[in-house]
Structure 1
């Protein structure tokens, strides 16, 4: 049941609610990407090895992936609002502890708490959207949230670099604390409990039982795997394109930054198309079509790379169409997963978010293991992820009449 006294009195609507859900969604990217420019300063301050400093950046990835599952299940049992507020307060606490850390181990602990808190946003924003908007407008709202999520890394990395250069690495974490406090206050006063009271008895089954209930549904499994493998394609493309531009082609980092805009541009256009087609084209058709375009573009990219046509445009134009197709498929796959069980929407959102982070980490690691200084490891990794994404999307497409 929802915890007493925490249901809230006022519920934001329209653009304000979408803005608030977008704000809590980008806390994850904020934790991950804003801190990267601060790591050299951390190493200098504590005089520690690169591997130890690296933990401050890598641990949050695993923590966020795990805690998305926890928040989803807790929100089904106790309500969205109290769990969201608890996560936001944990984010603020972790940020403040990290900013004041007297040692590298305290910083690592603070980053753990910070990431654990940030994980609430990505999971609960989707669950709240499912509660408030139902099936009819869910794809459109998720498209907007994904656009905000994609914007996070684009803003967080340069902002983190600016703060670290001007005020030192601790200022990055002070800024995160301030943002966390502002978002917490806005959520406290503007988001009421959205999980319906009639759901109170049902989620008392165990977390594993709830996961099993969802994963036994073939359509749900198809949706979350399609989203996960799509994320594997996307993150592999991000990492490999940077290497190919700077190391393989010898282009300056600034030029890579310009070409990099192809990725968010494709993603945002795909999200916009998805929002426009919401309600007109069946969700399962959009998921299938997006997966098919990703696979076909991956094949075209492989042909170019294997054929020796390795230029910025031969990398980023296919990348544009891959991200465009993902922008079309992901909101629909996420909406489909959330619609499988309204009672377990929080758990469903947690599983979906976990799969995205897990597959992103797994395929990024696979690319790193295969990397040999040529474009071929990128081709292999993206081809595998794109093929699996397409195969997963076929399942709900074939079962769309059920």
Structure 2
């Protein structure tokens, strides 16, 4: 039996199992977004510049990128369940280190540990979905899972802003510690093994051979690059928006958290549309619509500021549609990438996620270094990322033009 038919033969997971995938997927986005309103305050508390505090974000993303390269193949070899449980335990440990940090160096170290553990949830939730479903259903199911998961970044800055206002920056990491511990208990209780081909990779050489076959696939690169450049738009915004909002626009951290909820609202809507439509109109059309919407939205944002509308709604209004574009592109792009070679779904999910997050780790410090007295560097970086996403889609179109893949 092929891996695709085997996946299709799997029984439909219970609602509690889908809830579990959402919970474990949410750990890392919470780690990225919850403390964002506290970043200017953290810089003042440790007596360092905003660029130094940006390292807590960029190195977090870099550690996520590295971790996913390891987590994916390990789950192909040893199974999804043990690797995910260990990852969640490491996330809890890293959150505790951040909570107790007395120096910015200790805080950065804790963030790296936190990221190495949290990346397991995102990577393995995608691989688990691929284990359970055939290719045509993967985009829809990833869309539904990430739609629920997107609630985390929607509420995280709002919660973080309130915690910062009433307590201090440590409160966010106390929250993350508690959330990670609950997710770990939930996973230990509910998670069953979905990788029935585990143990097929006999050695590190086999893992490298699997990566080599993915890297040689033009179709894999097309799907991976388009998701990575679309994600880079979002991570550039995440890196620069707190400075623009709090320092340049002189708004409060709580107000930043309130406006930020607009962004994942669009992402949720885009994922819902993917869940409903991807199976009917195909992965490639979803990607084309999403990348076009993101490009038009960044153009609208630039036009608003060029006309002198220096207001949070000019920043976050277009981001609603950029978030919607992400919700259309990411599930479809990820589904395409992990379906290129279904027997390497874990490795493909890890490599795709690593490159995707690695792009975020690259743009975040660039945004932090360039933002001084104007928001235009942020807009330029987002526009370039959007254009490159559109260009990368050409790899997918060229490769699938003569195939039945839509």
Alignment of 1:214-225 (within 5 A): 214-225=214-225
Distance, in Å, in 2 between the alignment partners of 1:14 and 1:80 is 17
Shift of 1:220: 0.9
Change (3 A) 1:96 1:136: same
TM value normalised by structure 1: 0.83
Report what 2:282 is aligned to.
282
Distance, in Å, in 2 between the alignment partners of 1:40 and 1:306 is 26
Residues 286-307 of structure 1: per-residue CA shift (max 9 Å, x gap): 1122112222333344444445
Do the aligned partners of 1:287 and 1:328 also contact (CA within 8 Å) in 2?
yes
Distance, in Å, in 2 between the alignment partners of 1:347 and 1:294 is 28
Distance, in Å, in 2 between the alignment partners of 1:227 and 1:390 is 10
Change (3 A) 1:231 1:56: closer
Residues 31-63 of structure 1: per-residue CA shift (max 9 Å, x gap): 233345667897899x76568776555532322
Shift of 1:256: 4.8
Kindly indicate whether residue 159 of structure 2 is the aligned counterpart of residue 154 of structure 1: no
Higher mean displacement: 263-272 or 66-75: 263-272
Report what 1:123 is aligned to.
123
Report what 1:385 is aligned to.
385
Report what 2:13 is aligned to.
13
Q: How many residues align?
A: 391
Shift of 1:227: 0.7
TM value normalised by structure 2: 0.83
Higher mean displacement: 111-120 or 164-173: 164-173
Shift of 1:276: 0.9
Alignment of 1:224-373 (within 5 A): 224-248=224-248, 256-306=256-306, 308=308, 310-371=310-371, 373=373
Residues 172-221 of structure 1: per-residue CA shift (max 9 Å, x gap): 44443333232222212221211123772477634443222112111110
SS at match of 2:193: coil
Change (3 A) 1:244 1:185: closer
Report what 2:62 is aligned to.
62
Residues 333-366 of structure 1: per-residue CA shift (max 9 Å, x gap): 0111111111111111112212222222323333
Do the aligned partners of 2:302 and 2:379 also contact (CA within 8 Å) in 1?
yes
Kindly indicate whether residue 77 of structure 2 is the aligned counterpart of residue 77 of structure 1: yes
Distance, in Å, in 2 between the alignment partners of 1:109 and 1:249 is 31
Change (3 A) 1:183 1:253: closer
Do the aligned partners of 1:202 and 1:343 also contact (CA within 8 Å) in 2?
no
Change (3 A) 1:236 1:108: closer
Do the aligned partners of 1:363 and 1:385 also contact (CA within 8 Å) in 2?
no
Shift of 1:279: 1.1
Distance, in Å, in 1 between the alignment partners of 2:283 and 2:305 is 33
Shift of 1:119: 1.4
Do the aligned partners of 2:38 and 2:253 also contact (CA within 8 Å) in 1?
no
